[in-house]
Amino acid sequence: MTALVEAAPGAARALVLAGDAVLEAHFARTDDPLPVGLIAPARLASRSGGHGAGRGVVVMAGHEALLEPAPADWPEGQTRLAEVLRPARPDGVRDKQARVAVHAGPARPAPDLAARIAAAGHAAVLVPAHGPDQLAEAGWYAVVEEALSGRVDFAGGRLLVADTPAMLVIDVDGNGDLARLAEAAARAVAALIRRHGIGGPVVVDFPSLGGRGPRAVIDAILAETLPQPFEKTAMNGFGLVQIIRPRRQLSLMEESRRPGFAALELLRRAMRLVGAVRIEASPRVIDWLAARPALTDECARLTGGAVALRADNGAGRGHVQHV
What are the DSSP calls for 256-273, one per residue? Answer: TTSTTHHHHHHHHHHTTS
Q: For the domain bounded by 142-252, which CATH number is listed?
A: 3.40.630
- Of 187, 186, 162, 157, residue with least CA distance to 173: 157
The number of beta carbons lying within 10 Å of the beta carbon of residue 313 is 9
* Domain residue spans of the chain: 2-32+112-131, 39-102, 142-252, 259-322
Confidence at residue 53, expressed as pLDDT on a 0 to 100 scale: 63
Strand partners, 275: 304
Model confidence over 101-156: pLDDT tens digits?
999 989 999 999 999 999 999 999 999 999 899 999 999 999 999 999 999 999 99
pTM of the model: 0.93
CA 93 to chain centre: 18
Position 310 confidence tier, pLDDT thresholds 50, 70, 90: very high
| pLDDT tens figures, 9-52 | 999 999 999 999 999 999 999 999 999 999 999 999 998 865 55
Please give the span between the terminal C-alpha atoms of the chain, in angstroms, as a whole number.
Answer: 40
